[in-house]
Structure 1
Amino acid sequence: MEIVFTVLILLMIVALSGVGLSLLPVKLPLPLIQIAIGAMLAWPGFRLHVTFDPELFMLLFIPPLLFADGWRIPKRELYLARRAVLMLALGLVFITVGALGYFLHWMIPAMPLPVAFALAAVLSPTDAVALTGIAGRNRIPANLMHILEGEALMNDASGLVALKFAIAAALTGVFSLHEAAISFVVISVGGLAIGAAISWIVTEIPARVLKFSEDDDPAAGVILTVLIPFAAYVISERAGCSGILAAVSAGMMMNIQSLRATIPSAVRVRMTSTWTMIEFVFNGMVFILLGLQLPHIIGRALIEAHQDGNAQVGLLIGYVIATVLALYALRFAWVYCLRWVASRSAAKVGIESAAPGLRTLALTTIGGVRGAVTLAGVLSLPVTLDNGAALAGRDLAIFIASAVILASLLIAVVGLPVVLRGAKRERNPHAAEERLARQRAAQAAIRAIDETHALLTDDMDETASARCADSTARVMDTYRLRLESLGDEEAPRVAARRSEIVETRLRMAALRAERAELLRLRTDQAINDETLNKLMREIDLSETAIVNRKRGMTA
C-alpha cells in the first residue's frame, strides 16, 4: 500500500510541476523544477524516500524514453550528422574514460584505477532530455541539436559498456583491450539488430494477424507499441547485447513501420497521444527521482567529511570542481579538434569553411548535461569484491558523480541563456521543403479528385452527374486555394492567404458551435455519453487538423 501511495504522490507531482510552470513569474526549466521538488520531498519531515534500484530504474524508465527519442529524432538529419554523432558518442566516450580515469586516479590515489575508469565511464553519457528542457525548443540551432540528441542516444550504450568492463576489471583485476573491442562491436550490433527485429515483428501483427481496420478499436495495437521497448531491452540484455541500443533501434523502426498504409490512421493518432503522455510522465518521474536521491548522497558524504574536519569537506568539493573542469575541458578540446579537422578537410576540396565558432563550441560543451543514467550507472558499482572485501572508492565515486550531475545542470541553466543571448531563433529550418511538400500533395489530391470524379460519373444520370460535379468543385476549391497560397506570385498568394484565414475562422467557429450544441444535448439528456464522445472525437480531430494547418501557414 505504501508503494502505491508513493507512486500516486510522484505522479501528482509530475502533473503539478507541468501545470505550475506557467504560473511562475520567472521561466525556469522544467527538469530543474522537478529536481528541486524531488530534493524538497527528500526532507525527512515528508517521510518520502524512494530506494533507488539501478537495475529496476534502467528497466522501467530508460527503455521507453530512449524508444520515444528514437521514434522522434529525424532520421535524415541523424544520418547526415552520423560522423559527428559517432565521434562524440564513441570517440569522446573512450577518450573521456581513458583520460579522465587516469586523471581521477592521479588526483585521488586511494581510488583504484578500475574504479576511476568506472566513474569516468558513468560520467561520459549525456542527457538530451535535460538539455531540451533547459534550453527550450528551437533555441539551439537545429543541426547542432540533432547532433547532441544523436550523441545522447548512442553514448548511453558506449558509456555503460565501458562501465561493464571497468567493473569486471575491478572485480577480477584482468582487462583485455582486444576482447573489450570485439565485445563492444558484438554488443552494439546485436542490440541494434534485436531492437529493430522486435519492432518490425510486432508492427507486422496488426496487418497480418489482427487485421485492424479503421473501424476497429486501436487500443490493442497501441498497447503492443508500449510493450516494444521493454521487450527489446529485456531480450537484448538476456542475449548479452545492449538493451539501450535495442530500445533506440526499436523506436527508429517503429517510426518507419507506423507510416505504412496498412496501419490505420486511428492507430497512429492514438499512438502519438499515448507516447506524448508516457514521455512527459516518465521524464518527470526520472528528474523527481534524481532530486530525491541527490540530497541523501551529497548531504551524507559532506556530513561524514565534516566529522573528519573542514579540510576534508574542502577536499571533496575540490575533487568535484576538478572533475567538472576536466570533463568540460576534454569535451571542448575534442569538439574543437573535430571542427578544425572538418574545416581543413573542406578547405582541401575548395570549400570555404570558417574556423570553429566560439558560440557553437560553447553550446556543444555546455550541452553535455549529465542526468539519471549517470546516477544509475554509478549506483550499480558493486559494494564488495569477489573475495568479500569492500570496493575501495565506491562511496567517493557515487558522491562525485552525483555532484557532477548537479553541477552540469546548474552550468547549463546559467550558461546556455548567456551563450544563446543575441542568437537568432530559427523559425522553421525546413520551410522550403515543407512548402514544396504541401504543393506536391495538393497537386496529387487534385489529380485524384479528377480521376475519382470520372469514375463516379460513369453510371450516373444527368441530375446525379451535376450534383457530383458540384461536390467535386467544392472539394477541389480547397486544394486550389491552398496552391494559390503556396504560389510564387505575391498578389494571388496574399489574397489566397486572406481567404484561407477567413475560411479557417469560419470552420473554427462552426466546430466550436458544434461542440457547444453537443454538450447542450448531453445536458438535456437528448444524447448519451457514447454518442457525445464519438462526435466530440470527430470534432477534435478536425480542429487539430485546422490548428496544425494554421501553424504551417504562419511558420
Structure 2
Amino acid sequence: MEAVTTALVLLLAVVASGILARILPVAVPRPLVQIAVGGLLGLFVELRVLLDPELFFVLFLPPLLFLDGWRIPRDEMLRDWTTIMELALGLVVFTVVGMGFFIHWLIPAVPLAVAFALAAILSPTDPIAVSAIAQRTPIPRRMLHIIEGESLLNDASGLVCFRFAVAAAMTGGFSLAEASLSFVWLALGGLAVGFLLTLAVTRTKDWISDRFGEDSSSQILITLLIPFGAYLLAEHLGCSGILAAVSAGIGMSRAEARGLVMAQTRVSRTNVWNAIQYTLNGIIFVLLGEQLPFILSSAAETVRAVGEQEPWWLAVYVVLITAGLAGLRFVWVFVSLELTLLRRRSRHVSPGWRIVAAMSLSGVRGAVTLAGVLTLPLALPDGSPFPARELAIFIAMGVIILSLLAASIALPVFLKGLRLPPETARAAEEDTARIAAARAALSAIEAFQRESGEEARRAGLLDAAASRTGDLYRRRIERRSHGGDGEADAEARLGERIEAEMRLAALKAERAALFGMVRRGELGSETARKLIRELDLLETRYGG
C-alpha cells in the first residue's frame, strides 16, 4: 500500500503544480512549479522515494523518447539535418570532453571517469522545458524544430556516452578501440531493433484489424507497450535501449503514414499519449524537488568529501558548471551557424548574436538529465560506494534548476521579435494539400452518386446530399486557388477564420442547449454522451 500511496501523492502533486502554474500572476514555467511542489512534499510529507536506478530508467525514458521520435516532423529534420547533427552529436562530444576535464579540474576529488559521466548526462537538452518557458513568447518555428531534432538525438548520444563513462568508472579502464566498436554495435543494433520491432508489430496489428475489425483500446495499449518492448529487447541483445526507443518512435511515425488506423482511435490515442507525456515529465520534476531537501541536508558532508569546508561551495560549483555548459554551447552554436551560412549562401553573412544567444539559452537540462543521473550505481564492484555519487546528483539538480531559471528570465527577452532566415512557404504547401484533398473528395462524391441505388436517385435525395456536401469542398478549392494574389489570399483566409469562429460559437450554443436538457431531465445520458462527443470532435476540428 505504501507504493500505491506514494504514486497517488506524486500524481496529485503533478495536478496541483499544473493548476498553480496557470493561476500564478507571473508566468512561471511549469517545471519550476513542479520542482517547488516536490520540495514542499520533501519538507512536510514523509515521502522519501527510493527507486532502483535501472527501474527508474526503464519506467520513464522509453515512452518519452518514443514519443519524441514519433512526433518529430521528419521533413523539418531532413531540411536542417546538418545543423541538427552538429548540435546533437558534435556538441555532445564537445561538451563531454570539455566539461569532463573542467569538472575534474574544478573538483579534483571527482575522478575523471565520474566527471566525464556527469558531463555526459548534462549534455542532453530538454525541449519540453523550453516550450514551457517560451509558451508566452513563442519560439520561431524553425528554431523550435532544430531544438526538437537536437534533443531527440542528443538524448541518445549523451546517454550512450554516459554509459561508457560509468563503465570506465566501474572497471577503472577504458579502451578507445573497444569503445568505438561497442558504440557501433550499440547504435546500429539499437536503431535496427526499435525500427524492426515497430514494423513487425504495426504490420501484424494492421493485418488483424483488417480481417477481424479494429478495437481502439487494444490499439492504444499496443502503442504503449512498443517502447518498453523495444528498450528491453535491445538491452537483452546488448544494444542501446535508448536508441531503440527513439527509432521505434520514428518507425511508428512511418507506419502511421499508411493511414490504416480509424480516426476515433487516433483521437483517443493522442489524448492518452498527451496525458502520459504530461504525467511522466511532471513526476520526474516533482521527484527532483522531493529529493532536494535530502540532498541539501547532506550538503555539508558532501562538500567535506571534496575537500572544502563550507556548503556554499556547492552553489559555486553549480554556477560555474552551468556557465561552462552555456559557454561551450554558445561557441559551438556560433561555429555551427557560421558553417551552415557558408554552405547555403554565396555571400557570407554572420549569424546575429541574438540568434546565437537564444539557441544557447535553449539548452535547458531537464527530465533526461535527472533520470540519467539517478541511475549512477550505488557501489563499485568491490562494494565501496560509487565516488562522488551524491555530489553528481546535487550538481545535476542544481544545473537543471539554474538553467530553467536563466532561460525563463532571459530567453523571452532574446526571442521577442526574433526572426530566423525565411522558411519555405508553409501556407502554399498547406493550400496545395487542401486543394488536392478537396478534389479527391469531389471525385468520391461523384463515384458515390453513380453507385447509389435507384430509389434514392428517384427521391431526389442523392442529388441534394451531393450538392450540399460538394459545396463545402468547392468553396475550399475556390478560397485557396488564387494564384499568388496576396490580397485575395488574405481575404480568403479572413473569411475562413470568420467561418470557423462562427461554427465554434454555434457548436458551443448546441452543447449548452444539450447540457441544459440533461439538467432538466429532457435528454437521457447515453444519447447526450453521443451528441456531445460529436460536437467535441467538430470543435476540435474547427478550433485546431
Answering whether residue 106 of structure 2 is matched by residue 107 of structure 1, we say yes
Aligned pair in 2 of structure 1 residues 133, 103: CA closer, same or farther (>3 Å)? same
Q: Deviations over 1:95-135 (max 9, x none)?
A: 22222212222222222221221121111121111111112
1:413 paired to 2:408:
yes
Matched, 1:451 2:450: no
Aligned to 2:437: 441
Letter in structure 1 aligned against 2:276: I
In 1: Cα distance, 2:507 partner to 2:321 partner: 58
Structure 1 Cα separation of the partners of residues 203 and 216 of structure 2: 14
Per-residue displacement from partner, 1:194-230 (whole Å, max 9, x unpaired)? 111222222223321244787x541111111111111
Q: Which residue of 2 aligns with 1:367?
A: 362
Picking from 244, 247, 250, the partner of 1:249 is: 247
Contact map agreement 2:137 2:415 (CA 8 A) in 1: no
Shift of residue 13 of structure 1? 2.2
CA contact (8 A) 1:169 1:175 kept: yes
**1:341 CA drift (Å):** 2.4
CA distance in 2, matches of 1:197, 1:335: 34
How far does the alpha carbon of each residue in 1:458-489 deviate from its partner, in whole angstroms, 9 at most, with x for none?
Answer: x468733x432222111111112222322326
SS at match of 2:310: helix
Aligned residue runs from structure 1 range 147-158, under 5 A:
147-158=146-157
For the structure 1 residues 288 and 92, does the alpha-carbon distance in structure 2 shift closer, same or farther, using more than 3 Å as the test? same
Preserved CA contact (<8 Å) 1:142 1:429 = no
Three-state SS of the structure 1 residue aligned to 2:418 is coil
Native 8 Å contact 1:104 1:116 kept in 2: yes
1:134-533 alignment runs, 5 A limit: 134-136=133-135, 139-211=138-210, 217-302=215-300, 305=303, 311-347=309-345, 351-423=346-418, 430-456=426-452, 459=454, 463-464=458-459, 466-488=460-482, 504=500, 507-508=503-504, 511-512=507-508, 514-516=510-512, 518-519=514-515, 522-523=518-519, 528-533=524-529
What is the aligned partner in structure 1 of residue 5 from structure 2? 5
Shift, 1:302, TM fit: 4.2
How far residue 74 of structure 1 moved from its aligned partner, in angstroms, is 0.5
Residue identity opposite 1:486 in structure 2: R
Counterparts of 1:91 and 1:329, CA distance in 2: 15
In the superposition, the TM-score normalised over structure 1's length comes to 0.88
> What one-letter code is carried by the residue in structure 1 that aligns with 2:443?
R
Residues 1:24 and 2:21 are matched in the alignment: no
| Cα RMSD (Å) | 3.0
Q: Deviation of residue 162 (structure 1)?
A: 1.5
Cα deviation, 1:531-555, whole Å, max 9, x if unaligned, reads: 332333223222322333xxxxxxx
Between the aligned partners of 1:496 and 1:315, the Cα distance in structure 2 is: 62
Question: Is 2:109–2:306's contact at 8 Å kept on the other side of the alignment?
Answer: no
Q: Offset of 1:355 from its aligned partner?
A: 0.9
**Cα gap change, 1:504 to 1:305, in 2 (>3 Å):** closer
Aligned AA (1:116) = A
8 A contact 2:288–2:397 mirrored in 1: no
**Structure 1 residues 173, 487: CA separation in 2 closer, same or farther (over 3 Å shift)?**
same
Partner Cα distance (1:269, 1:127) in 2: 26
Task: Give deviations 1:424-467, integer Å, cap 9, x for gaps.
Answer: 6999972221122222222222233233323437x468733x43
Deviation of residue 362 (structure 1)? 0.8
Residue 93 (structure 1) aligns with = 92
**Letter in structure 2 aligned against 1:431:** A
The share of aligned pairs that are identical, in percent, is 45
Q: Residue 392 of structure 1: SS of its match in structure 2?
A: coil
**Is the contact between residue 290 and residue 372 of structure 1 (CA under 8 Å) also seen in structure 2?**
no
Contact 1:485 1:494 in 2 (8 A): no
Aligned pair count? 541
Which consecutive segments of 4 or more residues in structure 1 shift more than 6 A?
A: 306-310, 425-429, 490-499
Give the drift of 1:516: 4.7
Query: CA–CA distance in 1 between the matches of 2:317 and 2:487?
Result: 66
CA contact (8 A) 1:117 1:166 kept: yes
User: Which residue pairs with 1:540 in the alignment?
Assistant: 536
Q: 1:441 to 1:462 in 2, by over 3 A?
A: closer
Q: Secondary structure at the match of 1:370?
A: coil
Q: Distance in 2 between matches of 1:93 and 1:493?
A: 45
Once residues 456 and 511 of structure 2 are traced to their aligned partners in structure 1, the CA distance between those partners, rounded to angstroms, is: 38
- Contact 2:134–2:411 under 8 Å retained in 1: yes
Instruction: Quote how far apart the aligned CAs of 1:509 are.
Output: 5.6
Question: Secondary structure of the residue that 2:370 maps to in structure 1?
Answer: helix
Counterpart for residue 553 of structure 1: none
Contact 1:90 1:158 in 2 (8 A): yes
Checking the alignment, whether the CA contact within 8 Å between 1:153 and 1:248 is kept in structure 2 is yes
Work out the CA distance in 1 between the residues paired with 2:287 and 2:117: 22
Q: Contact 2:108–2:306 (CA<8 Å) still a contact in 1?
A: no
Q: Which secondary structure state, in structure 2, belongs to the residue aligned with residue 42 of structure 1?
A: helix
Deviations 1:228-287 (A, max 9, x none): 111111111121111122111212222222242422222112111111111112221121
Take 1:123 and 1:546, find their aligned partners in 2: how far apart are those partners? 41
- For residues 495 and 105 of structure 2, the distance between their equivalents in structure 1, rounded to whole angstroms, comes to 71
CA distance in 2, matches of 1:461, 1:244: 57
TM-score, length of structure 2 as denominator length: 0.90
Question: What one-letter code is carried by the residue in structure 2 that aligns with 1:474?
Answer: R
- Give the Cα–Cα distance (whole angstroms) in 2 for the partners of residues 100 and 509 of structure 1: 55
Taking structure 1 as reference, are residues 386 and 49 closer, same or farther at Cα in structure 2, changes over 3 Å only?
closer
Shift of residue 175, structure 1, vs aligned partner: 0.8
